[in-house]
Amino acid sequence: MRLSTSTLVSAVVLPALVSAHDIHHARFQPRQAAPASSAASAATPSTVAASGVTSAGAPSTVASAASSISEPPTASFSLLSSNANAVPLSSINANAPSQATVALDTTYQAGATPTVVSSAPGLPNPSSLVISSYPPLDKTPPTDSPEVQQWIQEVANSGVSIPNFSSTVAGGCPANAAAVADTSRCWWTCGGCTRDTDIVSCPDKNTWGLTYDDGPSPYTPTLLSYLDEQSLKSTFFVVGSRALSYPATLQAEYMGGHQIAVHTWSHPELTTLSNEEIIAELGWTKKIIKDVTGVTPNMMRPPYGDIDDRVRAICTAMGLTPVMWTRISPMATFDTGDFDIHSGATSVTQVLANWENILGNASVMDTGFIVLEHDLFQQSVDVATGYILPDALAHKYTIEPVVNCVNKPMSDAYIETNDNSTNPPIASGGAATLSSGAPGSAEATAKAGGSGNSSSSASALVSSPKSLGLFALTTVIVSLVGGSVATLL
C-alpha cells in the first residue's frame, strides 16, 4: 500500500490526552475527549476527502456518515501521512457494513520454525486441536479441572507470596472505596500505581512498542498484511478463546515474527476474580498458545489494565510479566480509544485526535512509549492501517514489539526459547523494588496528598538502566518540558 503524504498544520503544541477510563468500565462508557479548553478542541475544523487526508497546510474536518446511531462529536486532528488505500474516515463508524475478510498471506506446515526465534520447537498441527478439551469460549474457566488444579499447585509451590487482598466488585473505583483507599495493593485502575515488574514504556526515546489486544479476529489478516508491507512487527496480546477459534491466524502472527503474549481466556477484569479463577484464565491461555505455536509466552496484559499486587504475584508465580500502556498521570493514558468506534461510543476523528495528543506528549518524553490499540474489530484495524501507522511512519518512530523495545531478542519472549541469561524469571531472584516516586506509584500518589497527580515540577524522574533483566525492568518515567505539566494532567 502506497503512503500519501500531506502535512497539516495544527495549533496544538502539547495537547492533553484522552482520559484513563474507569475500569468497570470503558466498554460500556465513552472515553473522555481532550478538555474543551485545550487547543485541540478549539482548533478550526477542516475537511478530509474520501480518499484520505488531502489538505495541505491547514487543519481539516471530517463529515460523519449518515447513521442511525448518534455519533459523538467530531474532533480536530492533524496527520503527516495517511494510506492512499485507506478506508474513508466517513466510512469508519459503528454502522459500517462488514467488509470481505482477506485470506492469510501464508499458512504454515506442521514442524515449521520461525526465523526470528532461535531454537524454537516445530510448529504444531492446529488440525489436531480437540475443541472439547478446552473450556467454553468467552467464559471464565472452571477451577476444578485437572489442568487448573495442577496450575494452582504449581503456583503454591513457586514460593511466591500471594497478597490476601479481597476481590474487587464490578463498578470500578466508585464501587470499591476500600480497595481504592488501600494504597498497599497498588491497583493500577484507580490511581495508576505500577511496580518495577510492570513494563510501561520503552527505554529509548522515539521508540513505539506496538501492541494490539483482543485478537486474533477475522480482521487480523488485514492488519498483518499491512504490517508485512511496511516491514513492521508488533506484540499481539491474545485472548485464549479467540486463539482456539482462529489458530491459523495465531500461527501466522508468530511465524511472521510478531510477539505473542497472554490476554486471558475470556477477557475479565482480573481483580474481580478469585486467585483460582485468575490462574485458570492465565493458564488456559498459555496452554492454547503453546498448543498452536509450540511456545509459551512470558508476557501478559491484564484486560482493561485491571491489575493489583495480588494479580501481579499470581503472574509472577506463572512466569508472566505484566505489560501496560504508557500512563503520564492517574487520569491520562496512551489509549487511542479505537475499541469504542465499533459501538458508536466514540468517533474515528476523536480516535485520531487522541493519537495526535499521544504524539504531542511522547515528543517531550525522554523515553519511548506503548499505546493501547486493538485488532478485534474492523473499525480499529481500518484506522490503524489507514491513518495511525502511516502517520507514525512519517514521524520516523522506531516501531517494534515490546520485547524488542526493551532491548531483548524475540527468543526472550517465550519460556522454551529464553535461556534466562538476559531475561531471568522474576520468581527466580529477589523481589523487585518499587521505583521511588514514579508517576502513578504508591509513593508519588502519597506525596500528592492522595490526589494522584504527579509532581508539579517540570523536571523528570530518572528511568532504570537498560541492563536490568526484562522481568526486573524499572518503571520508565517521563521527562516533561518546562511549563507543560498543567497541560498534561
Catalytic one among 198, 263, 374, 391? Answer: 374
374 tagged catalytic:
yes
Q: How far apart are CA 353 and CA 345, in angstroms?
A: 15
The distance of Cα 271 from the centroid of its chain, to the nearest Å, equals 18
Cell numbers that stand for 372 in this block? 493501547
CB atoms within 10 A of CB 204: 16
| Three-point CA angle 372, 434, 486, nearest 5° | 55
In sequence order, the 6+-apart residues with CB closer than 8 A to the CB of 450 are none
213 tagged catalytic:
yes
Q: How far apart are CA 113 and CA 344, in angstroms?
A: 41
Q: Are 209 and 402 in contact (CB under 8 A)?
A: yes
Cis peptide before 216 (omega within 30 of 0): yes
Q: Are 224 and 254 in contact (CB under 8 A)?
A: no
Q: How far apart are CA 180 and CA 343, in angstroms?
A: 29
Cell numbers that stand for 40 in this block? 485541540
Produce one character per residue of 7-24: b if its CB has 16 or more CB atoms within 10 Å, e if not: ebebebebbbbbbbbbbb
Q: Which of 402, 349, 337, 399 is nearest to 374 (CA)?
A: 337
The total number of residues written for the chain in this structure: 489
Catalytic one among 196, 198, 213, 214? Answer: 213
User: Could you list the active site residues?
Assistant: 213, 374
